[in-house]
Amino acid sequence: MAEVKTYREALREALVGELDRDENVVLIGEDIGVYGGTHLITDGLYDRYGQHRVIDTPISEGGFVGAAIGMAMTGLRPVVEVMTWNFSFLAADQIIQNAAKVRYFSGGQVKVPLVIRGPNGGGVQLSAQHTHSLESFYGHFPGLKVVAPVTPDDAKGMMLTAIRDDNCVIFLEAGALYGTKGEVTEGDNAVPFGQARIAREGGDVTLVSYGRQVALCLTAAERLAEDGIEAEVIDLRSLRPLDEETVVASVRKTHRAVAVQEQWRWFGVASEVAAIIQDRAFDDLDAPVERVSGAEVPAPYARNLEIAAFPNADQVVTAARRVLYRKEG
């Protein structure tokens, strides 16, 4: 059974499901209660669960993320909303120094079952300071799990898994896609971490991405199909742990890969994907792995510049043609 819902509704459905299922689950963040959340993810939940389970906080990321870590250490399962991931820099010390490390420091005695969630990436004209894709930043630290679902179904399924996980999960939502719709499985559709999704099957070239760029790859794949090139599109969705097997199996089939990310090229997820491919599928490669990334500038505000600074389908098509040694059609 599946019903068409927005990404936002799918997230809310997961939160409601877990709030109902487990009384230790609490929500905490700025304006998530009375106001209903800046992005309306938690709209109506304050009225339904009350101030002890849907907690409004002062504007103090270091404070409320730290508090949530303490709550998690002592038995609750908090879900923290950062209004956007850009503000998490203020809480980075808590996240990296405490959330990621307490379980190790305590020899496994103290767990930190914590979800930190919020919109990641850009595309909605919020300018440089409010436009970051932080997957490689958080993905760098052992002790954190990092996921980035793009479909409403995965948003719900991965949120269920995140809340049930005994580790700190960095939950990167596709902020620009809160209003997009898709079929969402009824009931418990928990999606295990570390399993990529094949968004489109094809045998000629593998396009690897996650989050909002998956849509871009699907558009590019349709365009390539017009020229008889069948692209396989892989939605990583879970970045740490990362499903190497699915990527490698696909490249063994296609012999070519393009990794696409919204973030900057240097030290990005696409570089990691390229490294995994050359490491595990070297003898199957017919061309160097291409990376398509954002322009190496702080995100511009002007709409035309913002569009120019993010990867587009043309670039993915061009890169795919290059790894196929085919000229522009």
Partner 1 sequence: MPEVIMPKMGDAMEAGTLASWLKHEGDQVEVGDALAEIETDKATMELEAEDAGVLTRLVAGEGDEVAVGETIAVISADGEAPDAAPDKAREVAEETADSAGGRETAETETAETETAETETAETTAESGEQGASTREDEGRQAATSGPERSGDGRVRASPVVRRLAQEHSIELAGISGSGPGGRIVERDVRAALESTEKGAPEPSAQPSGATGTELSPLSRTQRVVGERMQQAWQAPHHYATVEVHVDELLALRGRLNEALAEGSEDDSGADGPVRLSINDFVMKACALALRTFPKLNSWRTADGIELHQQVDLAMAVALEDGLITPVIRNAAERTLSAISTEARELAARARSGKLRPDEYQGGTFTVSNMGMYGVESFTAIINPPSVSIVAVSAVGRRPDFDATGAVVPRSVLKLTVGSDHRVVNGAENARYLAEVKRLLEHPLLLTV
Please report, as ranges, the residues that interact with partner 1 according to CB under 8 A.
Answer: 255, 265-266, 282-288, 290-297, 308-309, 311, 315, 318-319, 322, 325, 327
> At 112, phi and psi to the nearest 5?
-125, 80
> Which is catalytic among the residues 61, 135, 173, 262?
61
Concerning whether 132 is annotated as a catalytic residue, the answer is: no
Q: Which of 39, 130, 132, 255 is catalytic?
A: 130
Whether 155 and 126 have beta carbons less than 8 Å apart is answered as no
CB of 205 to partner 1, least distance (A): 12
Are the C-beta atoms of 40 and 7 separated by less than 8 Å? no
List, edge to edge, every strand of the sheet that includes 197-200.
197-200, 231-235, 205-209, 257-264, 290-294
Contact 221, 260 (CB under 8 A): no
Nearer to partner 1, 90 or 285 (CB): 285
Q: For the CB of residue 52, give the shortest distance to partner 1 in the complex, in Å.
A: 48
Cis previous bond, 192, omega within 30: no
Q: Tell the smallest beta-carbon distance from residue 281 to partner 1 (Å).
A: 9
End-to-end C-alpha distance for the chain, whole angstroms: 42
- Taking the complex as a whole, the smallest distance from the CB of residue 247 to partner 1 amounts, in Å, to 16
CB of 108 to partner 1, least distance (A): 40
- Classified as helix, coil or strand, 177 is helix
Nearer Cβ to partner 1 (110/308): 308
> Residue 215 or residue 270: which is nearer to partner 1 going by CB?
270
Amino acid residing at 121: G
Q: Which is nearer to partner 1, 16 or 287 (CB)?
A: 287
Strands of 25-29's sheet in order across:
54-56, 25-29, 77-81, 115-120, 168-174, 144-147, 238-240
Please give the C-alpha separations between residue 37 and each of 6, 28, 129, 188, 298, in angstroms, as whole numbers.
16, 11, 21, 24, 27
Which residue lies nearer to partner 1 by CB, 104 or 266? 266
3-state secondary structure of 169: strand
Answer yes or no: 130 catalytic: yes
User: Catalytic residue numbers?
Assistant: 61, 130
